[in-house]
Chains A and B, each alone.
Chain A
Amino acid sequence: MRKAILETKKLTKDFGGLCALQDVSISVHEGEFVGLIGPNGAGKTTLLNSIVGIVRPTSGRIFLGGQDVTGHKPHQIAERGIAKTFQLVTLFEGSTVLENILVACSMKSRIAFWTSVLDTPNNKRKNAQMLDRALGILQLVGIVELKDEIASTVSHGHRRLLQLAMALVLSPRVLLLDEPAAGMSGVEIKSMMNLVKEEQHNGVGVILIEHNMSVIQNYCDRVVVLNYGQKIAEGTPEQISINDDVIKAYLGGVEGAV
């Protein structure tokens, strides 16, 4: 059996009385594609944010590859191999596309102050490697020709791709995607999902928040449904689509009606 690479155990987040997450336990295995769905305000984004340490969970534990990473800082989580994209595209807006990727490359290259300022031969080699890597990933997602454009000026679809590229360049073990394809066209969604699929085949675990059900049906191995901060269902896309609780959560339940 494949081993769970990321696991949350009874994760709870209380925003001063408002329970955003309540005892949520989910897991992702190596090379598994997990969909995370639920109505607005169900706690999907909070769940991802608490996994990467942006939000500190009130209680519960997070395990990455069997190690407890609860309470780690976001940059430590990134270093341990969890990459996340933001629901609202977040980029270094004033920098070029290439610079954006290069910042994301810095972690793997271990940029240090003195070697970087003195520009030692080792640092020169590092910089060359970083540039190669950055251009490689831009090539992969297909926006290499935009490398010298300022990030804030490129189109929405390209911004989404850049955001994904910045996550991929970290060579993560787990990829957390918060509505990565929101506002994109069908063709764009398809090419982006193929990129993610590629990563999945290389053994990366993926958690995807998505409202587009056909994307969930087509790509996910397993789906977790959240509602009011609680996990209400889990199973294959087929099982989920006929689950009563899920239908009730989305369409509203009437007593006695199905």
Chain B
Amino acid sequence: MSRNKLLLSKASICAIVAAVLLVLPLVLQRNAYSFEVARLIMIYIILALGVRLTLLMGFPTLGHGSFALIGAYVSALLVMKLHVSFWFALPLAGAAAVIVGVPICYPSLMRLKGGYFLVVTVAFSSLLELVCLRFSSLTGGEEGLSNIPKVDPISVPLLGTIDFGSRFAFYYLLLFITFLVIIFMYRLDNSSFGRLIRATRQSDALSNCVGVNVAKIRVITFAVACFSGGIAGSLFAHGAQYISPNQFGVWPSLYILLFVVFGGTDNVLGPVLGAIILRIVPELLVSSPMASPIIFGVLLLFVAHFLPEGVLGIRRQVSTLTRAVSAGGKPSAQSDT
């Protein structure tokens, strides 16, 4: 009974969230800035989910933005210079991030863990930023690339041609892709492969001794994280029609990691909530962009102190609290058993 009720409430929450997200553009329609924030949030959600994945196997990263940077440049250059369709450039951007990211990080994935890996990713990220600045003939150097073409229209049977030029259409496209990424990550989490990822974080030696190929699990997982990062970068480039090296340097990567830590890593919803709350709340509270980092910091301190498992940890805290209360309220019931 209670399980059914719970399921019902979960379904209703999902329905409400879906409705809000679908109707949101109609409410925002005049405000171009709000669209921009919504777009960034969704891109950050995709990136944060990738960071969560690497955290799940015990590899925190401050270089996840690099994969977005690779994806953004590859996708933009393919479309601009080679006139490839966006729809081909999108998966290629993901693939490029995997091709660059996996071999470069492979030695560190095999030998380092935790904070040591974090340091390597900082180096990787800074290096990539430098490379992008220096190869200005291709990347546009400090100015970056602008006038990146918008997403090509596609013709869908029954619906006719969909033009993604308007910010409405792009919003829905991004919403759809973000949704797909969330579903994918959720299924990965709850699959037997996800179980192996968590096992490799807890003990390499034991995983190996029960026949789990730790190296393979790490490479595949990291490749998935790279791929999602590359896709996010491509979507950013074609959404903003602009990309420059500092868009996804170490600093934005730090924010992405904080979204994950803020939201909690237990569940795929953690990074999603983290990205939404940490992006929106400062925007709502203060108008000056200078002041928003202060709000950001206060929120982070609050969570670090009261909800060390992230915002989602609140559920466990509430449940232990209610259990404690009900146990205290009915001492006779406990002595009976």
Using a CB–CB cutoff of 8 Å, the interface residues on chain A facing chain B are 52, 54, 73-75, 78-79, 83-84, 86, 90-95, 99, 102-104, 106-109, 111-113, 116-119, 123, 126-127, 130, 166-167, 170
Given contacts A92-B203, A94-B202, contact A78 B196 (CB under 8 A): no
- B9 near A: Cβ within 8 Å? no
Q: How large is the interface on B (under 10, 10 to 19, 20 to 34, 35 or more residues)?
A: 20 to 34
Contact for B202 among A79, A95, A116, A167, CB less than 8 A: A95
Beta-carbon nearest neighbor of B210 in chain A: A104
Collect the chain A residues with CB atoms within 8 Å of residue B184's CB. Answer: 117
A107 touching B206, Cβ below 8 Å:
no
Binding site for A on B (CB under 8 A): 184, 187-188, 191-196, 198-199, 202-203, 205-214, 220
B206 contacts A106, C-beta separation under 8 Å = no
A106 to B193, CA, bound (A): 9
24 A-B interface contacts by CB (under 8 A): A52-B209, A54-B205, A74-B209, A78-B208, A78-B209, A83-B209, A90-B203, A92-B202, A93-B202, A94-B202, A104-B210, A104-B211, A106-B192, A106-B196, A107-B212, A109-B192, A116-B192, A117-B184, A117-B188, A117-B191, A119-B187, A167-B210, A170-B210, A170-B211
B213 partner, pick from A52, A75, A90, A117, beta carbons under 8 A: A75
Cβ contact within 8 Å between A166 and B220: no
Least CB distance, A187 to chain B, in whole angstroms: 27
Q: Which residues of B contact A106 (CB under 8 A)?
A: 192, 195-196, 210-212
| Nearest chain A residue, comparing its CB with the CB of B190 | A119
B54 to chain A, nearest CB (A): 16
Given contacts A90-B206, A104-B211, A108-B211, 17 further A-B contacts (CB under 8 A): A73-B213, A74-B209, A75-B207, A75-B209, A75-B212, A78-B209, A83-B209, A83-B210, A92-B202, A102-B192, A103-B195, A107-B210, A109-B192, A116-B191, A116-B192, A126-B192, A127-B192
Q: Are B205 and A103 in contact (CB under 8 A)?
A: no
CA distance A123 to B75 in the complex (A): 35
Q: Are the C-beta atoms of B203 and A119 separated by less than 8 Å?
A: no
B187 touches A86 (CB 8 A): no
CB-defined contacts of A113 to chain B, threshold 8 Å: 193, 220
Which chain A residue lies CB-closest to B189? A117
CA separation between A4 and B125, bound complex, in Å? 54
Q: How far is the CA of A251 from the CA of B138 in the complex (A)?
A: 76
Residues of A within 8 A of B205 (CB): 54, 74, 86, 90
Please state if A119 and B191 are interface contacts (CB–CB under 8 Å): yes
List B contacts of A93 (CB < 8 A).
Answer: 202
Task: Please measure, in the bound complex, the distance between the C-alpha atom of A37 and the C-alpha atom of B173, giving whole angstroms.
Answer: 67
Chain B residues closer than 8 Å to A118, beta-carbon distance: 187
**Quick check: B192 and A86 within 8 Å, CB to CB?**
no
Closest-by-CB residue of B relative to A101 is B210
- What are the nearest 8 A-B pairs in CB distance? A107-B211, A78-B211, A74-B208, A116-B193, A104-B210, A116-B191, A92-B202, A103-B199
Contacts of A123 in B (CB 8 A): 192
Distance, CA A167 to CA B233, complexed state (A): 44
CB contacts (< 8 Å) of A73 on chain B: these are 208, 213
Which residues of chain B are near A109, meaning CB under 8 Å?
192
Q: Does B193 contact A86, Cβ atoms closer than 8 Å?
A: no
The closest CB in chain B to the CB of A127 belongs to B192
- When the two chains form their complex, are residues B213 and A103 in contact, meaning their CB atoms are under 8 A apart? no
Q: How far is the CA of A93 from the CA of B196 in the complex (A)?
A: 14
Which residues of chain B have C-beta atoms less than 8 A from A54's C-beta? 205, 208-209
What residues of A have a CB within 8 angstroms of the CB of B195 in the complex? 95, 99, 102-103, 106
Query: How close is B113's CB to chain A, nearest CB, in angstroms?
Result: 16
A130 to B196, CA, bound (A): 14
CB distance from A103 to the nearest CB of B (A): 4
Q: A91-B206, A95-B202 are in contact. Are A103 and B191 (CB under 8 A)?
A: no
* Residue of A with least CB distance to B208: A74
A73 CA / B206 CA spacing, docked (Å): 13
> B217 — nearest CB in chain A belongs to which residue?
A113
Contact call B206/A78, Cβ cutoff below 8 A = no
Given known A95-B199, A117-B187, A119-B187, contact A111–B192 (CB-CB < 8 A) = yes
